[in-house]
Chains A and B, each alone.
Chain A
Amino acid sequence: MAKSDIKFLASPQFGTQQKKYCRFKKAGIKYIDYKDPNYLIKFLNEQGKIMPRRHSGNSLKFQRRVATAIKRARHIALLPYVTDLLK
């Protein structure tokens, strides 16, 4: 069997990853409000931990700002430090 036939046994999209992007850069958001826990909850996992950049796709600049906002929100008890079943 020729190599070209084997290629079509799997979906053409198989193995190709979608390019991640920073949602803040895309939407033009400059400031992340620490007083809005419903927005910040998107960057937390079920235990209330901050998601890594490889999951959220944030640029370094905005990942830092997200992390700061979450830490501030935790201090004023809008978000928990440790929990289970946050979502």
Chain B
Amino acid sequence: MIKQYETVFIFTPVLSDSEVKKATQEYQSFLKDGGGSIVAEDLWGMRQLAYPIAKKTTGIYYVLEHMVDGTIIDKLEIKAKRDPNVLRFLTVKLDKHAIKYNDMKRKGEISQFKHKNKASEEADKTEDNG
């Protein structure tokens, strides 16, 4: 059964830009070969980890939203587990609220919506960004 999923990868910080691109392409083509489709992708880039993983304190975050059959997810996770470039990964099934949220976030509608109740200083921050 085809459902919408979201996978977060943390790649090792030692990879160069072209190597990261190659790795992301690899996972995308893997999903497409399995009969899935890519909904959206987002490369966050280098980010500080909250705690060290495999003696690394930074990681390259990559978020991939895809529609794929559940059996492919097992294979994807085995692939990620065996990949030495991937420090950590997380696959999450998206429900209808999550899909709506991600859609709004991509359009840039979410920052005001989500932080409506936040303190005024944070509201100013989002205005600066937008």
Interface residues of A (CB under 8 A from B): 23, 26-27, 29-31, 33-37, 39, 72, 74-81, 83
Tally the A-B contacts, defined by beta carbons under 8 Å: 46
Q: Are A76 and B8 in contact (CB under 8 A)?
A: yes
User: With an 8 A cutoff between CB atoms, is B21 at the interface?
Assistant: no
Q: Are B88 and A81 in contact (CB under 8 A)?
A: no
Interface residues of B (CB under 8 A from A): 8, 10, 49-51, 53, 59, 61, 63, 88, 90, 92, 95, 97-98, 100-101, 105, 114-117
Q: Are A81 and B101 in contact (CB under 8 A)?
A: no
Q: Are B49 and A35 in contact (CB under 8 A)?
A: no
| CB neighbours of B101 from chain A (8 A) | 30-31, 33
Residue in B8, B90, B95, B117 whose CB lies within 8 Å of A27 = B117
Q: Are B116 and A76 in contact (CB under 8 A)?
A: no
Q: How far is the CB of A31 from chain B (nearest CB, A)?
A: 4
Q: How far is the CB of A15 from chain B (nearest CB, A)?
A: 28
Q: How far is the CB of A68 from chain B (nearest CB, A)?
A: 10
Q: Are A29 and B88 in contact (CB under 8 A)?
A: no
Residue in B88, B95, B100 whose CB lies within 8 Å of A77 = B88
| CB neighbours of B114 from chain A (8 A) | 29, 33, 36, 39
Across the A-B interface, give the 10 residue pairs with the lowest CB-CB distance, nearest first. A31-B97, A30-B97, A77-B49, A80-B50, A31-B101, A77-B50, A31-B98, A76-B90, A76-B8, A80-B51
Docked CA distance A74–B63 (Å): 16
| CB neighbours of B50 from chain A (8 A) | 37, 74, 77-80, 83
| CB neighbours of A79 from chain B (8 A) | 50
Kindly report which residue of chain A lies nearest to residue B52, judged by CB atoms: A77
Kindly report which residue of chain B lies nearest to residue A37, judged by CB atoms: B50
| CB neighbours of A78 from chain B (8 A) | 50
Docked CA distance A36–B44 (Å): 12
Residue in A35, A36, A81 whose CB lies within 8 Å of B8 = A35
